[in-house]
């Protein structure tokens, strides 16, 4: 995992890599609200990464989705070409000001070849079960974002806790 100063500080020096959206940001309607001037480029996979949860004490809804390196696993993502203004809006929506997430560079496998991109990774410990409502929302977003049916089904089958816990 490589965190570079230009991504951490939001500076632009040269071509800007695509944003690799996962979790609720897979939903095209939600991304159109958060980043209205940024087109979808393509979809692909973070190979050797997995979707997990963490930061249970940092969110009112319990553990938050994040990605961690994991050989043999993969996470479905949507690639967006973000404008600078939309990146700032997305940073605010994702809690960058509160140091909830950090930006990391990742390599995304697409049908057109590998793409260097950046994504958000939770800046906290891994662990905890998401609520059924949150997990269902992630699965709905993956489905809306064009994830394969087996990926969506596997997400819906993940362990979770009741919404009241």
pLDDT of residue 54: 93
CA 91 to CA 9: how far, in whole Å? 11
Q: Percent of the chain having pLDDT more than 70?
A: 88
**What's the mean per-residue pLDDT of the chain?**
89
Question: In the structure encoding, which two tokens stand for residue 134, read together?
Answer: 């949150």
pLDDT at 11: 41
Specify the pLDDT at position 131.
93
- Give the other-Cβ count within 10 Å of 123's Cβ: 17
Coil/strand/helix, residue 59: coil
pTM of the full structure: 0.87
Q: What spatial distance separates the first Cα and last Cα of the chain, rounded to whole Å? A: 34
Quick check: 4 pLDDT over 80? no
What are the tens digits of pLDDT across the range 28-82? 999 999 999 999 999 999 999 999 999 877 766 789 999 999 999 999 999 999 9
pLDDT per residue over 148-165, tens digit each?
A: 999 999 999 999 998 765
| Correct CATH for 5-145 of 3.30.360.10, 3.40.50.970, 3.10.490.10, 3.40.50.300 | 3.10.490.10
């Amino acid at each position: 995992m490589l965190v570079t100063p230009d991504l951490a500080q939001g500076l632009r020096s040269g071509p800007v890599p695509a944003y690799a959206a996962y979790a609720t940001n897979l939903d095209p309607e939600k991304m159109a609200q958060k980043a209205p001037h940024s087109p979808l480029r393509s979809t692909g996979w973070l190979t050797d990464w997995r979707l997990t949860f963490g930061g249970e004490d940092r969110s009112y809804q319990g553990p938050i989705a994040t990605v961690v390196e994991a050989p043999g696993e993969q996470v479905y993502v949507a690639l967006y070409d973000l404008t600078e203004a939309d990146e700032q809006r997305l940073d605010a929506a994702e809690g960058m000001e509160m140091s909830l997430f950090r930006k990391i560079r990742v390599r995304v496998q697409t049908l057109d070849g590998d793409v260097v991109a950046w994504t958000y990774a939770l800046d906290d410990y891994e662990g905890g079960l998401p609520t059924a409502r949150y997990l269902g929302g992630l699965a709905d977003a993956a489905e809306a974002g064009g994830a394969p049916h087996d990926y969506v089904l596997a997400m819906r089958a993940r362990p979770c806790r009741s919404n009241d816990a």
